Each structure stands twice: as structure tokens, then as C-alpha cells.
Structure 1
Amino acid sequence: MGEFEQDAPEHARPRGIEDAGSAVPGRRSATPAHPVLPSRLRAVHEASLEESRRLAVRFRALAPSFLDPAEDGTDEDEAEAELLAAALALRCTRAVAARIVRDAHRAVTELPRTLERLETGEFPAAWFERILRRTRHLTAARMEDVDAATVHWPVSLTAEQFQLRLSRLLSRLESQQESPAHMTPEGRRRVELLPTRDDGIGCLRVIGPAPEILDLARRLDAAARAVQAAQRRAFETGERIPLDPRGTAAETGKVASLALLQYDLLGGAALDTDGIPVPRPRFRLNVTVPVLTLLGGSEEPGMLEGTIPIPPAMARELAGQSTTWYRVLTDPCTGAFLPLPAERYTPTRAMLEHLRLRSSTCAVPGCTRSTSWASEADHIEEYCHEDPERGGLTELENLHLLCWQHHRAKTAGLLDPARLPCTPGLPGRTAWSIHDRVSVMVRDGTDLASPAMTRELMESWTRYEAAREGRRRSLERRKDPPPAPPPPF
């Protein structure tokens, strides 16, 4: 953050910055009290001061949105509606908003004095956010100690010095409290599906006590090494290669790597449910692949479950391995999924699949819960059981998929969607009112590949038309015309 005079009171130190041109040359001991920066970097420093002020404003504005039914008796649906409203204001998902709102509440209630320094622009925003991240497991009593210490830390600390001070402080405070049950190694047992930035790659993370995870890793490694040894013997004796589902070992003449064998063993492991029957999946696993990509005429990626792009080569391979294909109709210019006719009160399986294609997550803006699992088909305009003609119809324009929590909130009247009129061929729109205080319009999901492929087809046709026109003109100068080129499709 620059160098300041160490003998000046911390809160009395100047906050301004001197221009590098105004610095007086001299010995190291004559260094000015403020950072000496050129005008270009002075602007950056001023922006960092403003960033701190804006962060403090955001914390104070968001803190009232934190409602904890377990602590203050707030209705769960009321708390959820408030969180969705905050997510819209932050322009982020509900899960991200939950973390930000909780941190805002903690900043106001647990770090009040350090927050005041943040409001002046003096305390770096990055420092404050790091303190919040590192202290989420501390009790309110320990947070008082954190606030009492950090409020006096000089901004002349380097980033390394700040991190060291914070680590030492937290190490001392953590030894003075018992970890809550959910923060112990036993309480953190879970399996998480993580998003990745690489197309076609997924990540599954297993978290638990170190001895249990180490035991799992060792058993998996021992099993993979045993299979690897069996593959070597099979090569020597000419027998069938064991655990070679892709035929890679047989094709290459080399045993599979330990990493690949561990993956295959884990992915093919039988799940012991102690005799409890597992119901069939409500939905199929959708891999949407453009037709031209299948034919090799386009490199538009496929989509797994509507949210994960997969490379064209992988999309073709998955399609080639499938025994059944389903046709999905989209508008060629907008990519809007074309509706199916309404036939009955209970949505058909085809209607449910269409709704999943339109939105692979809960339809409530900001919610990222997958519709593959605990989702419920909901009539946007309520169906009237006494007089069906007066209520909403069971048609795709009046249906969406909601997670159970937001379905309950809608039934309670805290979420009020209304379908807006739309032009045929264009994506549908839904107006959402949240808690009668926040409103937003959301467009239906579309097949992003359709417009791109339409452009490719139009460009191909334009080139064909240009070639045909060039041929026509050349024919005017020749007696024996060559055969006309075939159309591109």
C-alpha cells in the first residue's frame, strides 16, 4: 500500500498522494509520508479508495436483507423472497447472493469499527473481504476480538504483512473456541458437483475427515494396481483384457494408466442402498446436438443438460453411442423451442422434457437448482379444479418447472409470475413479482446453436448463389457450358 511515517498516529496519517514529480530527492529516511506515484497510478489509488467506500455502502444496504428463520423466527418463504430480491439487485445467482448478504450482515454486526474505517476509504476493500472470508467459522465473541485488532492495523502494512498478521490472529482465536458441529471434519462430509471452465469436463469432489478420505484413496489405488497387474498378465497369455470398457488397452497394446483405472472403478462402483429400491430417473439425460454438427458440417458445440457446453467431437461420439434420438424443434432464427400442443391437465412426459430444454434450472430468476431432481411442474396461471375453463390451461405457455422451495413460495403468494404475450417464433417471456416489491422480466432459454447454424447456412447459400451467377456470366462468352455445381445442401 506504500510507505507511511511509522511515528504518526495511525488515524492521523495523511490519506492523500503526492505526484512523483513533487517528491524531494534525498536519502531513504527522507521518504515522504504518502506513497509517491505518477499521475497514472494516483488515479488507480484514488479508485481503490472509492472501492472501499462503495463496498461499505453495499454492506449497509444489504445487511437488512439477511433474515435467519432459525434465529429470529422469520418465515422461511419470507427470507427466501428477500434473498431473491437481493440476487436481482446484485445481478447474481441466489447462492452467490446468500453469501454476499450474510457477509454484509456480519460486516455490520461483527466488524462495526473496522467497517467505519472502510467507509472512509482508508481500509483496503481487499483486506476487509479477506477478513470476512477467513472468519466465517468464528463465534460472535471471537469476532469482537477480530474487530478490536483489525481496526488499529496500519494501512502501511504490505500485503504479505497483512496476511501474516491475520493468520496469527486467527490461529490464536481459533484455539480459544470449539468448532461448531458443521465445521468439524465429521460435519463436513459431503460430495459436491463443481462447475468447471473447461468444455466437456466435470468435477466431483469428495470431502470428509482425512483418515476416511485417505482410506478411500488407498483402496482405490490398490484396486487399480490389481487390475493393472491383471491386464499385464492378459497381454502375456492372450486372454481378454479386464476392465477395458473403451477397448483402449486392447487397441494400444498397453495397460491402462492408474488414473484411468481409478476413474473407471469409481464410476462403475455399485451403490449399496441396503436394499432400498432406487426409483427410475424422472428425466432422461439430455445431450442437445445440432444436426449439422452431427453431419460434420458445423463445429457448433453440443449442450449437456442445457448448461454445459461439450466439444463437437464429443457430441458426435455421444450421439453415435445412443440407441434413441429425440427431435427438438427450434425456430431457426431465434433458437426458441417451438411449443407442443396442450392435450390434458397432467403434463405429458414430452411436455416435461420440453420444459427442461427451455430451462434446465428452476424458473425463478437467480435460482440454480437443477430441474432434473426435486422439481415440480407448476401452472403459471393457476388451474381451476372446480371450473377448468376459467383457470390456466395445461399448455407449455402456462407451465414451468420450479424447485420445491420456490413452488411453495409461489403458492404462498410471495412469488407471482405472469406470462407475457409473445410473437410466434420468438422466445417466451415471464414477468416475475417478488414480495410485491421487486419485478423483473425473464426470457425463456433458447438453443444458441440454431441462430449460428442459420447464419452458416445463409452464408453457404450466398456463396453458392455467387458461384452460380459467375457461371451464368461465363456462359454468355462460351458455347459449351460446363455442368452446374450441386447446391450446398
Structure 2
Amino acid sequence: MGEFEQDAPEHARPRGIEDAGSAVPGRRSATPAHPVLPSRLRAVHEASLEESRRLAVRFRALAPSFLDPAEDGTDEDEAEAELLAAALALRCTRAVAARIVRDAHRAVTELPRTLERLETGEFPAAWFERILRRTRHLTAARMEDVDAATVHWPVSLTAEQFQLRLSRLLSRLESQQESPAHMTPEGRRRVELLPTRDDGIGCLRVIGPAPEILDLARRLDAAARAVQAAQRRAFETGERIPLDPRGTAAETGKVASLALLQYDLLGGAALDTDGIPVPRPRFRLNVTVPVLTLLGGSEEPGMLEGTIPIPPAMARELAGQSTTWYRVLTDPCTGAFLPLPAERYTPTRAMLEHLRLRSSTCAVPGCTRSTSWASEADHIEEYCHEDPERGGLTELENLHLLCWQHHRAKTAGLLDPARLPCTPGLPGRTAWSIHDRVSVMVRDGTDLASPAMTRELMDSWTRYEAAREGRRRALERRKDPPPAPPPPF
């Protein structure tokens, strides 16, 4: 199947035209295999060749870490432990490591010949990674066709020519295979929260079959236009402005934009669960705001859910809208969250909130699952129900929040945390052993604003003291002027 993307055989090419890097022995090639570069750029080219070689080495080293959970006999917890170990080696999150490890497995098993070209440095690393990204939905049989084609592509191709060849190849192969259920438009229905940006902007994405998405957009647009028309009538008649939750339209005297109305309609939409009761939220939505930021004396950002920085103005606005405030105590120099007392097996609500402030994601290194939803409180040293005095007490130093999967893996013995002795006022530490293969020490999360605010206050106090001392010395000089110099004769 791959032959239609290979270079034309020598006898089929017009005379005088050759691909770079494929010259016939004994005949001079029309163009060199590699670009002719000035001396200052040769090192850059050599670095790109080395990048290809390093990528191949990484793929071969990571490929054995892939344990397919869909295969019979695969231990799911064993696969998870191997994945966490790979994440620590890669210095990335568990989710990113899962993608890299799967790509490494595919590179070794599905693109073996092109991988050999990558190992020599001949095949660009960016090309190989693009092939892996674009072919994740293809079957193993179709990947054989991809490998048979790409192994012959000359390095003299431009980036644009490579992308065109790849798109053309994939279009042909996709038409020859039946898409799995989860890759069909119907199978890809989902709503996902995208990573939050550092400027306080979030994004919720809705994916599904185009007719359904277009219909949703049409209904949302029609509803917003109807509200906009009602707002215009309200301005004309002097009635109350409808759908104006922030009072923007009433304050400015202008109807809201369609974009803002659509946003407000979605935000206020009722979620019909067909009579199914929805449990009360386990955690509150935490917005942590330094007190000096609240008072307008600092521009230190606030934090939403412990991981999302929000601008100071937004933090002050959210704080002003809240009817209930909770005090969170932190060490002023280190930012460590100060412990609260606890006395029973089941952690109190205040303890759970403290643990979530200390770690907004699952405590296992590399896991990014949020502790705001389906997390489970776990005793680091197991609680002894028969004799609680023997250890495993329900106290903050012996508790952490885990996602359900890693809680199960810890119970199975694949994850072994140990709380290390800590100094009061400093962040706590936990030593993790992952299936006796990898060991790593993880520090507790801290409030990043506290040390910065302390430094600001100390700097301000130092400047104040210096200014006061300067004024004192100036006053002393005025009270006791130096003696007049003797006459020059």
C-alpha cells in the first residue's frame, strides 16, 4: 500500500532530475544531500542531526514502559506504576508521560524502518514527531503503509513538501480503514476543560458531530438575539433590563453584546438530570487572596484552587462578592500551611480543605488529577482500627489526598509513601517509592504569596528605618553645628 508515496524509480524519472541523497553511484548528484550552510550555521545543523539521534534513543528506552491496558493479562496497577516511573525520568506529568510512552511504543513497533533513519540523524526529529501525532488513530496495518512510504522520503524535501506528502498519504489511508467507534464524530462527544492560562482566562470546549454543534450554536445565537431585542425594548420603555447579571447594560445604557449574552445564557443554564439528585459539592471553590492585595497595598496575584493565578483586580472583585470568608494561616517566611488539630479516623471538613490547599492535585508525583472532585483522603501510615494508639493517626502529617486509581495502587503496595520528619514552619516532605523501582522526595505545596509579601514588608521596614535614621542624623547636625574653620592667617 505504501508504494504510491515512494519516489519514482530511476527509470521513471526524467533525465537530469535526481532527488538529493539518492544519487546513483558513480554519477554526481544534481544537488547535495544536505544544505550548504555558512560556518556559523553548521553547528545548528549538526545539533538538529543530534536531536534526531537523541529522540531515537529516548524512544527505544521508553518503549518497554508501555503496558497496554487493553491486552489480556496486563496488570493495570503495574502499568500505572511503570508510567509514574517514566514520568519522573522525563520530568513531566503523568498525562504527558502516557502520551510520550505510547508514542515510543508506536515508533519502535509500527515505524521501525523510519526509526532507523531517525537514529542515523538523517530523518528530522520534527518530521517524525509530526507523523506520530497525525497517525494516532490509524490501525497497525495502516501504520505499516506509513512506514513503507516515509522510509523513502528524501531529506531534500522542504517542510511544506513534507506536510503535503503526509496529508496526502493519510487521506488515502484513512479512506481505506473503518474508524473505531471512539474516533467517529459521535464517539468524540465530550466537554473538556482546557488548561487555564496565567492571565485568569479559562476555556470550556464542546466537541461533537458538526450538525449537533451547529444546532447548539444556532439555538444559543437565537436566544441571545431575542434577549438583545428585549433589552432594546426595555431601554425604550424604561422597564427593568432583562438578563443583566452584572448590571453592565443598565450602567452603560447600552444593550449587551451577543457574545456576552451567549456567555450569560450558558452560565445560567439549568442542568436537567432527569430527577437524579446531585450530591452537595465536597469542597468549596477556593480563591486565596493575600490580605495586602485585598487592602490594595500589593499587586500580588490571587490563586484559584491553588494552581491558577488570577490578576489582583479579579481577586479583589471575587472577594468583594463573597459573603463568607475563611482564614488560612501560613508561615510568613516559607508559605507552609500551618497545621490544624484533628482527633478522629474520618478527617474533618477543615482538614480536607487544608490538604487540598497543601496539594491541589493528587499527591502522587506526576499525577495532575484535581483534588477538588473525586479525590480520596488516605492515611500515609495505615490507621489501626483495633488500637488507634499504635499509629496511623488521623492528623495532617499522616494524611494526603489521592485520586481513586492511585489510592488503589497504594493499597495494593505498588506505591509506598513515607512522611519524613518536618521542622515546624517549613513545608513537609514525603518520600515516595514506586514499585521498588524509583524513589523520589516531594515537598508539600506552599502559599507562594506569603514569602513575597514578607519580603515586601521587610524591605519597606528597612527603608523606613533608614529614612528615620537619616532624619535623626540631620537633626543632630543642625543642633550641634561643626566649629568654624580657623582663619587662613
Q: Is the pair's TM-score, using the shorter chain for normalization, greater than 0.5?
A: yes
Q: Give the match's secondary structure for 2:144.
A: helix
1:477 CA drift (Å): 3.8
How far apart, CA to CA, are the structure 1 residues paired with 2:394 and 2:450? 27
How far apart, CA to CA, are the structure 1 residues paired with 2:488 and 2:79? 57
Deviations 1:136-180 (A, max 9, x none): 000011001000111111111111111111111111111100000
Change in 2 beyond 3 A, CA 1:67/1:77: same
Deviations 1:86-124 (A, max 9, x none): 100010000000000000000011001111111111111
1:370 CA drift (Å): 0.5
1:36 CA drift (Å): 1.1
Q: Give the match's secondary structure for 2:71.
A: helix
1:32 CA drift (Å): 4.5
Q: 94-103 vs 191-200, which deviates more?
A: 191-200
Q: Check conservation: 1:14, 1:33, Cα contact below 8 A.
A: no
Q: Check conservation: 2:20, 2:32, Cα contact below 8 A.
A: no
Q: Check conservation: 2:20, 2:155, Cα contact below 8 A.
A: no
CA RMSD of aligned residues (A): 6.7
Q: Check conservation: 1:287, 1:303, Cα contact below 8 A.
A: yes
Q: 175-184 vs 198-207, which deviates more?
A: 198-207
* TM-score in terms of structure 1 length: 0.92
Deviations 1:238-282 (A, max 9, x none): 000000000000000000000000000001000000000111100
Change in 2 beyond 3 A, CA 1:13/1:376: farther
How far apart, CA to CA, are the structure 2 residues paired with 1:416 and 1:146? 43
How far apart, CA to CA, are the structure 1 residues paired with 2:467 and 2:307? 40
1:8 CA drift (Å): 13
Q: 21-30 vs 140-149, which deviates more?
A: 21-30
Q: Check conservation: 1:3, 1:35, Cα contact below 8 A.
A: no
Q: Check conservation: 1:19, 1:37, Cα contact below 8 A.
A: no
1:474 CA drift (Å): 2.3
Change in 2 beyond 3 A, CA 1:141/1:10: same
Deviations 1:26-49 (A, max 9, x none): 999975554211122110111111
Change in 2 beyond 3 A, CA 1:417/1:12: farther
Q: Check conservation: 2:375, 2:402, Cα contact below 8 A.
A: yes
Q: 192-201 vs 267-276, which deviates more?
A: 192-201
Change in 2 beyond 3 A, CA 1:26/1:220: farther
Q: 70-79 vs 218-227, which deviates more?
A: 70-79
Q: Check conservation: 1:306, 1:357, Cα contact below 8 A.
A: yes
Following TM superposition, the consecutive aligned residue runs of length 4 or more in structure 1 with deviations greater than 2 angstroms are 1-34, 477-489
Q: Check conservation: 1:2, 1:35, Cα contact below 8 A.
A: no
Q: Check conservation: 1:17, 1:37, Cα contact below 8 A.
A: no
Change in 2 beyond 3 A, CA 1:115/1:9: farther
Q: 340-349 vs 276-285, which deviates more?
A: 340-349
Change in 2 beyond 3 A, CA 1:24/1:60: closer
Q: Check conservation: 1:20, 1:38, Cα contact below 8 A.
A: no
Change in 2 beyond 3 A, CA 1:300/1:160: same
Q: Check conservation: 1:346, 1:394, Cα contact below 8 A.
A: yes
1:346 CA drift (Å): 1.2
Q: Check conservation: 2:191, 2:205, Cα contact below 8 A.
A: yes
Q: Gaps (5+ residues) in structure 1?
A: none
How far apart, CA to CA, are the structure 2 residues paired with 1:298 and 1:67? 50
Q: Gaps (5+ residues) in structure 2?
A: none
Change in 2 beyond 3 A, CA 1:8/1:340: same
Q: Give the match's secondary structure for 2:127.
A: helix
Aligned to 2:338: 338
How far apart, CA to CA, are the structure 1 residues paired with 2:63 and 2:293? 49
Q: Check conservation: 1:50, 1:121, Cα contact below 8 A.
A: yes
1:73 CA drift (Å): 1.9
* TM-score in terms of structure 2 length: 0.92
Q: 406-415 vs 3-12, which deviates more?
A: 3-12
Q: Check conservation: 2:422, 2:428, Cα contact below 8 A.
A: yes
Q: Give the match's secondary structure for 2:479.
A: coil
Deviations 1:165-200 (A, max 9, x none): 111111111110000000000000000000133421
Change in 2 beyond 3 A, CA 1:430/1:10: farther
How far apart, CA to CA, are the structure 1 residues paired with 2:487 and 2:262? 50
How far apart, CA to CA, are the structure 2 residues paired with 1:188 and 1:449? 40
1:341 CA drift (Å): 1.5
Change in 2 beyond 3 A, CA 1:253/1:43: same
Deviations 1:292-344 (A, max 9, x none): 00001111000000010000000000001101111111111110001112222
Q: Give the match's secondary structure for 1:341.
A: coil
Change in 2 beyond 3 A, CA 1:155/1:487: farther
How far apart, CA to CA, are the structure 1 residues paired with 2:178 and 2:164? 23
